[in-house]
Structure 1
Amino acid sequence: MSEERRQVSGGGRGFGRGAGPGMGMPVQKAKDFKGTLNRLIGYLKPRKYQLFAVFITAILSTVFSIVSPKIMGNATTKLFEGMMMKMKGVPGAHIDFEYILQILLLLGGLYIFSALFSYIQQYIMAGVAQKTVYELRKQVDDKLSRLPLSFFDSRAHGEILSRVVNDVDNISSTLQQSLTQFITSIVTFIGVIVMMLTISPVMTLVVILTLPLSLIVTKAIASRSQAYFVGQQKALGELNGHVEEMYTGHKIIKAFGHEDKSVAVFNDINERLYNSGWRAQFISGIIMPLMSFISNIGYVLICVIGGVLVTKNSIAIGDIQAFIQYARQFSQPITQLANIANIIQSTVASAERVFELLDEQEEIPEAVDARELRSPKGEVCFQNVTFGYKEDAILINDMNIHVKQGQMIAIVGPTGAGKTTLINLLMRFYEINDGKITIDGVDITRLKRGNLHSLFGMVLQDTWLFNGTIRDNIAYGRENATEEEIVQAAKAAHADHFIRTLPDGYETILNEEASNISQGQKQLLTIARAILADPAILILDEATSSVDTRTEAYIQKAMNELMKGRTSFVIAHRLSTIRDADIILVMNNGNVVEQGSHEELMAEGGFYADLYNSQFMMKTPKRVV
């Protein structure tokens, strides 16, 4: 596995535990932060009124919770004053419990209102976030359906899935949680400072002076832990990649006796992960104790200064209580904002990856007056076709092929000759550079893509079956197929017998990779699916490569019956399977170098004859004397 893939395998957003979220952890950053953020905000603009409501409810919820300590301090002051007057023997001195009760009821009301507005805020924001992400997912899904095959061929499926699933989920969680937390943190920070200033500007200055010290300590420790976090993520990616490789190739490792080597590699990576991990966690874990220490220093200073002010009657004792609570709250929004800053960076990076996908060049759109072939015959022509995956590297040059209705066309040649490319061009998965391809005299660029693809039935070397019953997988070939038609298609593909030997027969559930049946059985099911589809043109790309010789003979008979009256393109490496083809196209280096029947090509004694003979000639072993 490459280093790049290992990095991807272990990627993802994580945080150091010891320092709280976001402390010291390396964060994925966007290339164009400002532009991507503005584009992401654009998705929120249609819901600006809901966002305004969220902003107002967040402020109200936070304000109610901020003023509560100040009001609670009044109750403490009243209780303290009553106690002191009774201790001094003041005539008629008493504790005003009625006043205290009113304050408690007021506090209860404030807490209820705070909770209510917090609930409304979360409810509205949940709708905004999910509707926004719903539209984004829909755009991504629509985009994927409009991207050319070349896009998927040039990228790892895991990378595409990561953008569609992980990155979109990252955006969703940030919109849902971090946006409201960002608002409440700012309001809390400002509100706490205002409330502290109303109580005592001197004590407020003491609290604020501890802030730079906290930031200096945090930055110093975070910078030291950063390198270890990078090493931890790197080792984690390598470990994930190694485990994935080892369990995927478990049988091969056992067969070649590489268990000890595999375990040794695992132990080496695991050791590096341990060394980086504990250092990263330990160093980042020092942050919170040190911040608590600095906070406690400020707490002691506040108590001393506050006690002095109380003795001078410059401040009420209830205000000291409230101020201590505010001092405790002061660092919380700062930590939250630092965490949110990291999350927003990661989210914008995820958004950038999604937008890159949305900005990919789409396949050429259908013609405005695109046609449909209602009763296709299956006559195919390649006229002066030129094609290359890259403009400066032409693979097929000036190809001309004429296929009549009902003919069986075999395409043979060495690996990389362009056989599968020919089929991709025929189905317009790739656009040709020059020339044109017609079906029944109609240029395929003038046909609707859906109609064009419906003309073909395909059986590929790489089988594709989905998680579902065998019946559903066969029925995928034709909508509303009857039970009888499904069974007949299975019989024609010689799949009916093995299906009925399974415990649940046609109701057998295939897992995600259809690994609960053999490779040959998978191929039989895909062949049955193609038979059920009853297409005008058949494409068989090494369709019998995964079955045994006896089953191959049965399938060949079924295919011969199926191909009667249909145009068929057969890609084959085993040349014995295409001897009865009407035309054999022999390809090499992207060009058709020979074409004709089997007998004609063998008589020529050219490239095809060499390929054919190489499969059947056996060297006579020398006799050992």
Structure 2
Amino acid sequence: MAKNTIKNDEDQLNRSKTEIVGRLLAYLNPYKFKTFIVIMLMLFVMICGIANPYLLKIAIDNYIQNKDVNGLVYIGIILVVLNLFAMWASKIRWTMISSVTNNILVNIRHELYVHIQKLSFTFFDNRPVGKILARVMGDVNALQNLFNQSIQNLIPELLSLVCVAIVMFVLNVKLAFASILILPLLAIAMLYIETRARKRWDDYRKKRSNLNGFTHEDFSGIKVVQAFAKEDDTEKSFKNFVSELMGSFMKAVKLNDFFWPLVELSWGIGTVVVFYVGYSLVESGDIQVGTLVAFSLYIGMFWRPIMNLSNFYNTLISNFSAADRIFDIMEIDPEIISAENAPEIGKINGEVTFKDVTFAYDEHTKVLNNINFTINPGEKIALVGATGAGKTTIVSLLSRFYDPTSGEILVDGKNIKNVDLESLRRQMGIMLQDTFLFSTSIKENIRYGKLDATDEEVIAAAKAVNAHEFIMKMEKGYDTDVNERGSRLSLGQRQLISFARALLANPRILILDEATSNIDTQTERLVQDGIEKLLEGRTSFVIAHRLSTIRDCDKIMVIGDGVVKESGSHDELIKRRGRYYKLYMAQYGFMNDGA
């Protein structure tokens, strides 16, 4: 997938109208019975509407001319009863339509959300979060009118149009042909507008997505914006995005606004033609006045469905882009999935082997090159090296956030690509460099590592990493909300909570990526004391720039230029006076200079 930024319009596949309508209508399948009931009610209302002019014709031609009062009363009673039932049917119809369309939107949004959660990191790496939100929220919401009108207008209006046309041809063939004379020209004009309108609506939704992406990014980084006093600059950028959005919207709306005037003009011309022909037929005695009056009413009933169908067509065109954008995401296959019928990995002992592993994020960025090593169960391994050397990539591959470009990663001798992904990750505790907390309580953030954990287990995990003391000083203790991304806590406090969350999962393999980078020296010592027992019996990978925190690891691997440059214990590497020695002495000397 091509990388996209907030300033770039997203690539989008334009599907045919038939494909889009077919896929959207497929969401009606679970509601076939309700849809059938709605259509039946619509047919009843439509029949009542069609019957009104015909009953009026009978009243004029048969009873008014003959001054038959009883007959007129009889017709009047039928009209009143018929229309009361039609009103009752319409009310039930609207209630059922609302229920069906809202359920469909919920299903589409849920399906899209579940699918996005399964997508690989490369999807999120190449697309701003704000643009993803635009699809889940804005584009799904845009389909509401489409579904409402699909059920309410498309089927019943087509049926109404056909039924009225049949009645018109039965009443008088000449008047019927006069009514539809203008239709071919209207169809040509509407197709001409549609081909241009769709492109403009595509552009509008892309600009809206750009605005959404910018807004999300700006508010997520509001502390940086305010710290550098860039509010005026971001305001200008916001105005530019809004201006582009407004411009694209006005272009689309101006073109779409031609639909209704075209239909109304056609309606007017058709009515004039019918009355001209009808007047001639009355004069010649071919039809009665009642037939012309009824036909004039049927003209309105003939063009009203066309008006509603054109409105549906208008809605369809303006929402083609939203449907395309949703289907674009739905058609992206997750890169990291469990193999078909993949067995569960079973209880992990913790042996980890990288066999000829090479990895590149793209064809220009090779991060690891032919990595080979084996870690025994229960060993504590440290990964050190310069920023960008590939340390985090190694643990990301082990967690199977990505798959190697080539080579194999084995856990207990089993290739992790051939086992059930969830069974692997369930037994891994991962604390990544980017500490993320959810906008809920401290307790629930820790419990995320084990959803069925008791309060006692949560507290025990917090105590193990020495987070209990600062938590109890909070206003509500463990029930204190941390705000979005844990913004009300210090970086060190966030890491301690994240650490407790990882440990609560009781993993067989524990990954700590810069776990103590934001903890002061005193707290770090307490954490080190607390985690020593918890690391026992677990294979652990520790990434740390503070070399003092990894001295006691069983093995230290120095990563550089995409390969393992050195490997051994702290004492062994110091004696070799290689890369690790230079890193250690440089940091030790820097710390002394600072002191």
Q: How would you bin the TM-score normalised by the shorter chain?
A: 0.7 to 0.9
Instruction: Verify the 8 A CA contact 2:344 2:420 in the aligned structure 1.
Output: yes
- Please list every run of 5 or more consecutive structure 1 residues that lacks an aligned counterpart in the other structure: 12-27, 83-94
Aligned to 2:328: 353
> CA offset at residue 587 of structure 1?
0.6
**Within 2, Cα distance between the matches of 1:321 and 1:5?**
60
> CA offset at residue 542 of structure 1?
0.8
Q: Would the alpha carbon gap of residues 125 and 329 (structure 1) be closer, same or farther in structure 2, given more than 3 Å must change?
A: same
**Within 2, Cα distance between the matches of 1:504 and 1:43?**
46
Instruction: Verify the 8 A CA contact 1:384 1:400 in the aligned structure 2.
Output: yes
Instruction: Verify the 8 A CA contact 1:437 1:444 in the aligned structure 2.
Output: yes
**Within 2, Cα distance between the matches of 1:257 and 1:478?**
42
Q: Would the alpha carbon gap of residues 403 and 157 (structure 1) be closer, same or farther in structure 2, given more than 3 Å must change?
A: same
Matches within 5 A, 1:17-166: 30-31=14-15, 58-77=42-61, 81=65, 95-114=67-86, 148-150=120-122, 152-153=124-125, 155-157=127-129
> CA offset at residue 594 of structure 1?
0.4
> CA offset at residue 514 of structure 1?
3.0
1:468 aligned onto 2:440: yes
Q: Would the alpha carbon gap of residues 519 and 279 (structure 1) be closer, same or farther in structure 2, given more than 3 Å must change?
A: same
> CA offset at residue 409 of structure 1?
1.1
> CA offset at residue 539 of structure 1?
1.0
**Within 2, Cα distance between the matches of 1:459 and 1:61?**
62
Matches within 5 A, 1:565-576: 565-576=537-548
Q: Would the alpha carbon gap of residues 501 and 101 (structure 1) be closer, same or farther in structure 2, given more than 3 Å must change?
A: farther
Q: Deviations over 1:545-579 (max 9, x none)?
A: 23344433332332334324433210112323222
Q: Give the secondary-structure state (helix, strand or coil) at the position aligned to 1:513.
A: helix
The residue type equivalent to 1:484 in the other structure is: E
Larger Rg: 1
Aligned to 1:514: 486
Determine which of 467, 492, 498 is the counterpart of 1:526: 498
> CA offset at residue 185 of structure 1?
1.7
> CA offset at residue 583 of structure 1?
1.3
Instruction: Verify the 8 A CA contact 1:163 1:353 in the aligned structure 2.
Output: no
Q: Deviations over 1:216-256 (max 9, x none)?
A: 76677778988877776666555555544544444434443
**Within 1, Cα distance between the matches of 2:248 and 2:135?**
28
Q: Deviations over 1:96-116 (max 9, x none)?
A: 332222222222343355456
1:363 aligned onto 2:347: no
Aligned to 1:493: 465
Matches within 5 A, 1:207-246: 207-212=179-184, 214=186, 239-246=211-218
Higher mean displacement: 203-212 or 597-606 = 203-212
Aligned to 1:598: 570
Q: Deviations over 1:374-398 (max 9, x none)?
A: xx54343434445555699764444
Q: Would the alpha carbon gap of residues 348 and 281 (structure 1) be closer, same or farther in structure 2, given more than 3 Å must change?
A: closer
Instruction: Verify the 8 A CA contact 1:36 1:351 in the aligned structure 2.
Output: no
Q: Give the secondary-structure state (helix, strand or coil) at the position aligned to 2:161.
A: helix
Aligned to 1:382: 354
**Within 2, Cα distance between the matches of 1:224 and 1:385?**
51
The residue type equivalent to 1:372 in the other structure is: G
Aligned to 2:387: 415
Higher mean displacement: 611-620 or 259-268 = 611-620
Instruction: Verify the 8 A CA contact 2:282 2:288 in the aligned structure 1.
Output: yes
Q: Give the secondary-structure state (helix, strand or coil) at the position aligned to 1:601.
A: helix
**Within 2, Cα distance between the matches of 1:529 and 1:482?**
13
**Within 1, Cα distance between the matches of 2:88 and 2:312?**
24
Instruction: Verify the 8 A CA contact 1:367 1:445 in the aligned structure 2.
Output: no
The residue type equivalent to 2:481 in the other structure is: I
Determine which of 323, 330, 349 is the counterpart of 2:295: 323
1:5 aligned onto 2:15: no
**Within 2, Cα distance between the matches of 1:216 and 1:444?**
59
**Larger relative contact order (Cα-Cα within 8 Å, sequence gap ≥ 6):** 1
1:612 aligned onto 2:584: yes
Considering only aligned residues, what root-mean-square deviation do their CA atoms show, in Å? 4.4
Instruction: Verify the 8 A CA contact 1:64 1:114 in the aligned structure 2.
Output: yes
Q: Deviations over 1:153-182 (max 9, x none)?
A: 555555555566666666676455414421
> CA offset at residue 504 of structure 1?
1.9
Instruction: Verify the 8 A CA contact 1:30 1:348 in the aligned structure 2.
Output: no
Matches within 5 A, 1:299-318: 299-300=271-272, 302-303=274-275, 306=278, 309-310=281-282, 314-318=286-290
Q: Deviations over 1:235-291 (max 9, x none)?
A: 655555554454444443444344444444445555566666567656755664565
> CA offset at residue 418 of structure 1?
1.9
Instruction: Verify the 8 A CA contact 2:352 2:375 in the aligned structure 1.
Output: yes
1:192 aligned onto 2:164: yes
Instruction: Verify the 8 A CA contact 2:351 2:539 in the aligned structure 1.
Output: yes
**Within 2, Cα distance between the matches of 1:338 and 1:449?**
50
- Please list every run of 5 or more consecutive structure 2 residues that lacks an aligned counterpart in the other structure: none
So what's the TM-score if we normalise by structure 1? 0.77
Q: Identity percentage over the alignment?
A: 35
Determine which of 375, 391, 394 is the counterpart of 1:403: 375
Aligned to 1:588: 560
**Within 1, Cα distance between the matches of 2:307 and 2:102?**
27
So what's the TM-score if we normalise by structure 2? 0.80
